[in-house]
A and B are shown apart, each in its own frame.
Chain A
Amino acid sequence: MEASTSTVAFTRPRPLGWARLPVWLRRGIIGAILIVVWHLYAVHKGPLLVATPWQTAEAFYDGWKNGNLASQTWTTLRLLLEGVAIGALVAAGLTAFATLSKVGEDLLILLTSVLNPLPGVAILPLAMLLFGLNESALRFVIANATIWPIAIAVSTGFKTTNPTIVAVGRNIGLSRGRVITDVLAPAALPYAISGLKTAWAFGWRTIIAAELVFGVAGSEGGLGNYINNARLYFLTPQMFAGLVTIALLGVVFETLFGALERRTVVRWGMKTS
């Protein structure tokens, strides 16, 4: 039981001016100013090029109400989740292989240095040749964008694991396989989560860009396609609503990742950044 720290009332020096306001107010004021600037810029540039905040909000509301935005957002998200899942599995397999054998390690290093720099959109034509013009090509491209960040992160995590706890693991009787799953994997979790965040960001950008290029001109399609379509038909508020959706989703996932971290690595005192 820790001793109570409130027996002596220490007073922090009160900050002055701007810093004195509560966080939500400060952010809110800055946000409001930015929205006003946006509005003025939109008015200046004209409705065909830039939509005003209000128009965007309207288009956003309509888009969700009639289900268009919702279904297309879901298409994009679904593809992204599938691609990231594939990427994570392949990364896990490659990393385990690399940890267990030297051949595996060489393979991982070679593949990573060759394939990691390739932006998803650049290999999209190749993917379309291999898989045809369908969702599998998109999944392939997203998987490629996500495998390498995760593999790098996890193998770094494995390599930098404190050798003492690996020794403890062997000492208490764990087999090699269980050392990987019960010791190395949890130890690498901070890195894995960080790698997952990076992979998610890459995957997100890849899917939107690929959709713009892939351009399903018909009735299906994801968020990137929604934005592209709005652009073609000069529906600028819709286009901005699509962009706002992307931004909001970004915030949502940031929050989710943060919650994941709080529940695991922060709780364990292992957060690396």
Chain B
Amino acid sequence: MIPLRSRRRAAAPRETSEGGPLLRIERVQLGYWVDARFHLAVAEATFEIQPREKVIVIGPSGCGKSTLLKAIAGFIAPASGSISVAGRSTLAPGPDRAIVFQEFDQLFPWKTVLHNVAYPLRVNGHSRGEARATAQQFLELTHLAHAQDRYPYQLSGGMKQRVAIARALALDPTILLMDEPFGALDAITRQRLQLELNRIVAETRATLMFVTHSIEEALVLGNRVVVLGDTPSRVLEIVDVGDLGGPETQEYGAMRGKLRDLLAVDRELPEEEEDGGIN
């Protein structure tokens, strides 16, 4: 077992003192200004995430799910409502809600793979030796130890995303946020990384909030799925998907159908491509 809680200052809480939810979103409204008008992206969202849960937020394109993630990360302030992480109302971005973006270019090109993972640790108070050791641990976890001295431009897209995941997890965040991280990858790599993510999250016992528009991905990765409707969006339904059988089972197919129906509710959607699942 990898010892993940090394000595560090300003530890991000993994649990709240009362054992309550790690993330609580209450009647949150989100929008943005274009010229002089305010556009509402999310009309109202309310849900919770418990420790060690893997929650997938799914919805049609443009429904505001990424906006919601960014609000939790602290980049946007909610127009109304409250967001609290481990009991604290979050305002500024911070490593307790480490985020993995969709773009490959989220690594610092002037740092090696190892330093990309170690540097955020140094920023948060770890000594050079600690940071290096921790970084190496997480690179081993993501099977990237052999590439630790390479520069990002020398890596493939899938490898870059794994580095980003390693970096985020090395910070031992309260909750790991992921914004369609596999969306830019090809189908094969995407499948592989989904499996890896499952393994990594299990080993690190992380809490995960994952945004996607792919039903298959939601079913593979998640315990619960929060379905958002069209903009300005609301939470349509929250379903448990943790105890489904494999993709060939009837329950799985039923759930897939249900989600598809939910997502097609407000408008005509093209048939969802079957590219996100394990076959």
Nearest chain B CB to A1's CB is how many angstroms away?
Answer: 7
Interchain CA distance A268-B115 in the complex, whole Å: 13
Query: Of B97, B120, B152, which one neighbours A269 at CB under 8 angstroms?
Result: B152
Interchain CA distance A235-B119 in the complex, whole Å: 60
Size class of the B contact interface (CB-based, 8 Å): 20 to 34
Contacts of A162 in B (CB 8 A): 103, 105
Nearest chain B CB to A40's CB is how many angstroms away?
Answer: 50
Are B109 and A270 neighbours in the complex by a CB distance under 8 Å?
yes
Query: Of B98, B146, B153, which one neighbours A268 at CB under 8 angstroms?
Result: B153
Nearest chain B CB to A189's CB is how many angstroms away?
Answer: 7
Chain A residues 196-227 with CB under 8 Å of chain B are none
Q: Is A113's CB within 8 Å of the partner chain B?
A: no
Minimal Cβ-Cβ distance residue in B for A183: B108
Contacts of A178 in B (CB 8 A): 123
Known: A170-B75, A170-B93, A172-B120. A269 touches B103 (CB 8 A): no
Contacts of B6 in A (CB 8 A): none
One digit per residue, 1 when the CB lies within 8 angstroms of any chain A CB and 0 when it does not, for chain B 211-253 equals: 0000000000000000000000000000000000000000000
Interchain CA distance A267-B109 in the complex, whole Å: 10
Are A268 and B110 neighbours in the complex by a CB distance under 8 Å?
yes
Nearest chain A CB to B79's CB is how many angstroms away?
Answer: 20
Chain A residues 155-175 with CB under 8 Å of chain B are 162, 164-165, 167-168, 170-174
Are A186 and B95 neighbours in the complex by a CB distance under 8 Å?
no
Are A264 and B110 neighbours in the complex by a CB distance under 8 Å?
yes
Contacts of B95 in A (CB 8 A): 171-173
Interchain CA distance A268-B99 in the complex, whole Å: 24
Contacts of A268 in B (CB 8 A): 109-110, 151, 153
Are A165 and B110 neighbours in the complex by a CB distance under 8 Å?
no
Contacts of B94 in A (CB 8 A): 171, 173
Contacts of A173 in B (CB 8 A): 93-95, 120, 123-124
Are A165 and B153 neighbours in the complex by a CB distance under 8 Å?
no
Minimal Cβ-Cβ distance residue in B for A265: B110
Nearest chain A CB to B85's CB is how many angstroms away?
Answer: 13
Known: A269-B152, A270-B110. A164 touches B103 (CB 8 A): yes
Residue with the highest number of chain A CB atoms closer than 10 Å, among B97, B98, B110, B167: B110
Minimal Cβ-Cβ distance residue in A for B112: A268
Nearest chain B CB to A201's CB is how many angstroms away?
Answer: 25
Nearest chain A CB to B144's CB is how many angstroms away?
Answer: 13
Interchain CA distance A170-B120 in the complex, whole Å: 10
Are A269 and B153 neighbours in the complex by a CB distance under 8 Å?
yes
Contacts of B165 in A (CB 8 A): none
Known: A268-B110, A269-B109. A171 touches B98 (CB 8 A): yes
Interchain CA distance A56-B123 in the complex, whole Å: 58
Are A172 and B151 neighbours in the complex by a CB distance under 8 Å?
no
Query: Of B92, B97, B101, B146, which one neighbours A168 at CB under 8 angstroms?
Result: B101
Nearest chain B CB to A269's CB is how many angstroms away?
Answer: 3
Contacts of A165 in B (CB 8 A): 105-108
Interchain CA distance A186-B108 in the complex, whole Å: 9
Interchain CA distance A168-B164 in the complex, whole Å: 10
Q: Is B68's CB within 8 Å of the partner chain A?
A: no
Chain A residues 13-45 with CB under 8 Å of chain B are none
Are A174 and B110 neighbours in the complex by a CB distance under 8 Å?
no
> 9 A-B pairs, CB-CB below 8 angstroms?
A164-B101, A165-B106, A165-B107, A165-B108, A168-B106, A173-B93, A186-B110, A268-B151, A268-B153
Q: A171-B95, A172-B119, A173-B124 are in contact. List 8 more A-B contacts (CB 8 A).
A: A170-B75, A170-B92, A171-B93, A172-B95, A172-B123, A186-B110, A264-B110, A269-B153
- 3 nearest CB pairs, A to B: A269-B153, A172-B120, A170-B93
